[in-house]
Amino acid sequence: MKKIAIINGPNLNLLGTREPEIYGKETLADIRKRCEKKARELSVKLDFRQSNHEGELIDWIQEAGREASGLIINPAGFGHSSVAMMDALLAIPIPAVEVHLSNIFRREEFRHHTYTSRAVRGIISGFGGLGYVMALEAVAGK
């Protein structure tokens, strides 16, 4: 069975209460349940994680490169600043998709660019939690 890693960056543990007018009312636990349902439909195994620590996220990206067949990453704020996360993504041999809950291109100008986007197959932005399901379908190859 294929294993897909889903890695979530800083402040995503606050979903549902943090700026719901931008990020919605869905919690990260709600998104995880949605992804687990889709994973069952696609016959893939999920490894779903969240951290507020850049080094831990980089370790998980490297681990996914060794143990998973695909990666979905929401780098959150680190996408706009972390060359190290970009380098980790460039170093892994599996397809990766970047997800953002909000449409980063309709927000502040500094959010229009992510370093991590250089290292992924594609970006899904602006569809809330549904973006994870879309990314799961893309990474699973269905």
Per annotation, catalytic residue among 100, 112, 113, 115: 100
Cβ atoms of residues 82 and 52 within 8 Å: no
Strands of the chain (E only): list them.
2-8, 44-50, 70-74, 96-100, 122-125
Annotation marks residue 80 as catalytic: no
Termini Cα distance of the chain: 14
- List active site positions: 23, 100
